[in-house]
């Protein structure tokens, strides 16, 4: 129970390039570290994993009276969560469908090849804007049925929502929260509008499936449709862009692994898995206990804000051998990159396909490449952490 300010130091923008020494401090002070604002911070693998599976932990912000509208299912508890998750998971594969996502593999390969086609030697690129961002945006737009030309419109909403969804210790409602609320309402309205255009004349996209659901038990209300579509559009790209960018950054910092992968691309799936452990896009998630709970001898009171540092758990030496070493051949790599328990990310298989295809297509261009700026400039967000730009000289 040492530092009262660890969370403030972790979320401080100056820590963005390298929060890992602070996570080591957190684990040494833990497992449970109470903060000055009465929130609790946990960063040891076993405690984080156990709490992700603990039915006494709520994700619903209404538990603390923080919001009044019904949030998306990422922030709902069962049984409400289960109903919506099941519906929104259908296109992501068996047992609900032949797996629309699996069928996108070829399309994803084609998209990555098109993106790298203009990357001739000597050119400077921004890995984020020229590569890592356009790929997942195009993919999630296709899946949902959002016109790709509308990207400039939802980029601003998505930015505002991601900014608002950060962990910010000891702060009440801020300007960021208000902007986030406004963006959520506008983006939801826009997506409901798109879905309505397909009522009665469905395409093969998710918005069509939602609005034409024949089973009245499963049909979404307008509010649920808006929240679910916003969640999918944002979750579908804001994280994958960071996985791909963190991958390029890690490989350019450690050229021996770049060479290894260039010689043996069969290792890519394991390298992507190791990236999800070593440089994960999602660093923290919040939970709220329904009742007082005991964690490793500390009582966390009902209603407290509990921040689970997934990225710290994935670097816990009690769980992983030499956790600060990037090792694409690492055995037994049960990282927390996609969370765990009932909210486990079901976009994982899609994100893996995208990251493997992206890094695979880029590898041949990275032979003599160098980072123009290291560390690169990061986005503000501490929870969804990743570079804003990654300039690379090919």
Beta carbon of residue 123, minimum distance to ligand HEM (angstroms, whole number)? 27
Shorter beta-carbon distance to ligand HEM: residue 3 or 287: 287
The distance in angstroms from the start CA to the end CA of the chain is 47
Could you tell me which of 282, 285, 271 has the C-alpha nearest to residue 333? 271
Could you tell me which of 25, 71, 32, 78 has the C-alpha nearest to residue 55? 78
Shorter beta-carbon distance to ligand HEM: residue 235 or 252: 235
Shorter beta-carbon distance to ligand HEM: residue 258 or 350: 350
Beta carbon of residue 114, minimum distance to ligand HEM (angstroms, whole number)? 20
Shorter beta-carbon distance to ligand HEM: residue 342 or 394: 342
Shorter beta-carbon distance to ligand HEM: residue 257 or 352: 352
Instruction: Catalog residues that contact ligand HEM under the rule CB under 6 A.
Output: 59, 73-74, 85, 140, 231-232, 235-236, 239-240, 243, 280-282, 285, 337-339, 343, 345, 347, 350-351
In whole angstroms, what is the distance from residue 271 CA to residue 267 CA? Answer: 6
Beta carbon of residue 336, minimum distance to ligand HEM (angstroms, whole number)? 7
Structure tokens at 90: 């259908």
Shorter beta-carbon distance to ligand HEM: residue 169 or 236: 236
Strand locations in the chain, DSSP E?
Answer: 32-34, 40-42, 57-58, 124-126, 285-289, 293-295, 298-300, 306-308, 370-371, 391-393
Beta carbon of residue 3, minimum distance to ligand HEM (angstroms, whole number)? 24
Identify whether the C-beta of residue 2 lies closer than 8 Å to the C-beta of residue 34.
no
Beta carbon of residue 313, minimum distance to ligand HEM (angstroms, whole number)? 11
CB neighbours of residue 203 within 10 Å? 12
Q: Which residue is nearest to ligand HEM (CB)?
A: 347
Beta carbon of residue 139, minimum distance to ligand HEM (angstroms, whole number)? 8
In whole angstroms, what is the distance from residue 273 CA to residue 280 CA? Answer: 10
């Amino acid at each position: 129970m040492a530092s009262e300010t660890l969370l403030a130091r972790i979320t401080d923008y100056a820590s963005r390039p390298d929060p890992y020494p602070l996570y080591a401090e957190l684990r040494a002070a833990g497992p449970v570290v109470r903060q000055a604002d009465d929130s609790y911070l946990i960063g040891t693998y076993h405690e984080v994993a156990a709490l992700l599976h603990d039915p006494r932990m709520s994700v619903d912000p209404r538990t603390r009276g923080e919001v009044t509208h019904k949030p998306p299912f990422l922030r709902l508890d069962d049984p409400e969560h289960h109903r919506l998750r099941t519906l929104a998971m259908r296109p992501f594969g068996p047992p609900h469908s032949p797996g629309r996502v699996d069928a996108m593999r070829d399309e994803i390969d084609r998209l990555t090849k098109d993106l790298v086609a203009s990357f001739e030697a000597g050119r400077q690129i921004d890995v984020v804007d020229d590569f890592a961002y356009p790929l997942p945006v195009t993919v999630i737009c296709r899946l949902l049925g959002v016109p790709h030309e509308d990207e400039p419109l939802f980029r601003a909403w998505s930015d505002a929502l991601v900014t608002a969804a950060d962990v910010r210790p000891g702060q009440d409602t801020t300007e960021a929260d208000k902007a986030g609320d406004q963006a959520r309402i506008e983006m939801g309205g826009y997506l409901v509008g798109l879905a309505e255009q397909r009522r009665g004349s469905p395409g093969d996209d998710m918005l069509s499936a939602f609005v034409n659901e024949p089973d009245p038990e499963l049909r979404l209300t307008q509010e649920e449709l808006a929240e679910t579509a916003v969640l999918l559009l944002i979750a579908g790209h804001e994280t994958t862009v960071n996985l791909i960018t963190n991958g390029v950054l890690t490989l350019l910092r450690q050229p021996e692994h770049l060479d290894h992968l260039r010689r043996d691309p069969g290792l890519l799936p394991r390298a992507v898995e190791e990236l999800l452990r070593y440089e994960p896009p999602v660093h923290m998630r919040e939970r709220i206990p329904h009742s007082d709970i005991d964690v490793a001898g500390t009582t966390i009171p009902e209603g407290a804000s509990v921040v689970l540092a997934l990225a710290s758990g994935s670097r816990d030496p009690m769980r992983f051998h030499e956790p600060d070493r990037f090792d694409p051949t690492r055995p037994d790599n049960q990282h927390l990159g996609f969370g765990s328990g009932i909210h486990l990310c079901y976009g994982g298989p899609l994100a893996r396909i995208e990251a493997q295809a992206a890094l695979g297509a880029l590898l041949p261009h990275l032979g003599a490449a160098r980072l123009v700026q290291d560390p690169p400039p990061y986005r503000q967000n501490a929870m969804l952490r990743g570079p804003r730009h990654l300039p690379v000289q090919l």
